[in-house]
Amino acid sequence: MNVIESILSKDELTRQDITLLLQANDEDRAKLFAKSAEVKEKYVGRKVYLRGLIELSNICSKNCFYCGIRSGNQDFTRYNLSDDEVVEAARYSWQNGYASIAIQSGEVSNSAFTQRITNLLKKINAATSSELGITLSMGEQTEETYREWFDNGAIRYLLRIESSSRELYAKLHPNNKAHDFGKRVECLRLLQRVGYQTGSGIMVGLPFQTIENLADDLLWLKEMDVDMVGLGPYVEHPDTPLYKYKDMLLPLDERFALALRVIAILRIIMKDINIVAPTALQAIDKLGREKAIKIGSNVVMPNVTPGLYRNEYKLYNNKPSTAEADEDCKKCLEARIRLTGDEIGYNEHGNPIHFTQRNKRIL
């Protein structure tokens, strides 16, 4: 038994174990992927759940150095979907058996925005017989706002950390109160306290990021006891401050391979959470999401935003599926997921098993 095989036989992985797995050679990487696929099948099954992605607005108050829709970027068109457009996209998802939607926007925190989301939740539930599982991803809010949205039908919330290293986090964001690491962590705790299925996520292959940073990120996600994770390779955007460090980056194919390793290790150490197969993988490799599904991911988020707006919600370059019609995207997903050997859990919320188990521990 070699070192990697010995690590993969353990019940608990240390920081050093994870660091070694992240640097595995091709032969050992195959063993890692075989182990993560085995864990996935045992703990969450061979079913993929769909979340119809609605990109509500690219208006954002934050000025994160890596993001294409940062407030300081003036080189693209801002938009805000109408309520009718959002409800129609939700209805489309419901009618096509997606069972869940994810509504995402730039970060805005004010009473008008809070009330608008509350009203949207009511309209969506009225239009879909309250049968959709609704995920929100709208950044840092107050506990009162989180609770109001939860009480009106949102059941999941995704708040990505991007890096659990305070030092690296500071290099990705302006140094001000609007971009405070501690506040972001506290918001994740608030979401869990309110009762959400809570998710976070990281970027892989950032400038200044080390393998040890990634090992710490994985252990941080486990320590935070999140229920779902969205992570993917960092894909640079030319209209961002971080772009000037592009020469420091790993080649895209290496970032892609590293992201797959991170997903596989995450599945092994957090066996029963939901893990998204991100579109950022597909931006590098046309079969990126399928490869992620094979080794650990069990959630895919087809974009159901009206096509007119998809090109304006570009967090990174080369975003895929911006020109596909919804029906074509659905048919394509069905064929692609069949190729992985998994099946789509149509008309199933696909709530993370981890959430149920976490609640039992709390009780």
Residues contacting residue 177 through CB under 8 Å, at least 6 positions apart: 183
> What pLDDT score does 320 carry?
63
**Cα separation of 360 and 41, whole Å?**
23
> What pLDDT score does 307 carry?
72
Chain centroid to CA 86: 20
**Cα separation of 151 and 110, whole Å?**
18
> What pLDDT score does 63 carry?
97
5 in a domain, yes or no?
Answer: no
Mean pLDDT per segment of 10 residues, for the chain of length 363 residues? 92 97 94 98 97 96 96 92 97 96 97 98 98 98 98 98 98 96 98 98 98 98 98 95 97 97 98 94 91 97 80 59 54 87 96 88 56
Residues 47, 51, 52, 57: what is their CA dihedral angle, to the nearest 10 degrees? -160
φ and ψ of 103, to 5 deg: -100, 120
39 in a domain, yes or no?
Answer: no
Token readout for 116 is: 């608008």
> What pLDDT score does 359 carry?
75
Domain count, the chain: 1
58 in a domain, yes or no?
Answer: yes
303 in a domain, yes or no?
Answer: yes
**Cα separation of 340 and 343, whole Å?**
8
Spatial contact of 302 and 329, defined as CB atoms under 8 Å apart = yes
281 in a domain, yes or no?
Answer: yes
9 in a domain, yes or no?
Answer: no
Angle between helix 288-295 and 252-269 (nearest 10): 30
- Do you know the residue count of the chain? 363
Spatial contact of 269 and 36, defined as CB atoms under 8 Å apart = no
CA count, 13 A, side-chain hemisphere, 351: 14
Whichever domain contains 170, its CATH number is: 3.20.20.70
What single string gives the DSSP state of each residue in 217-275?
A: HHHHHHHHT-SEE--EE----TTSGGGGGGGGSPPHHHHHHHHHHHHHHHHHHSTTSEE
268 in a domain, yes or no?
Answer: yes
> What pLDDT score does 311 carry?
62
Model's pTM, two decimal places? 0.95
Range list of H helices, the chain: 3-8, 15-22, 26-43, 83-95, 111-127, 143-151, 166-172, 181-194, 211-224, 252-269, 279-284, 288-295, 307-310, 326-340, 353-362
> What pLDDT score does 357 carry?
84
> What pLDDT score does 115 carry?
98
Residue-range definition of the domain harbouring residue 353: 45-362
> What pLDDT score does 323 carry?
52
197 in a domain, yes or no?
Answer: yes
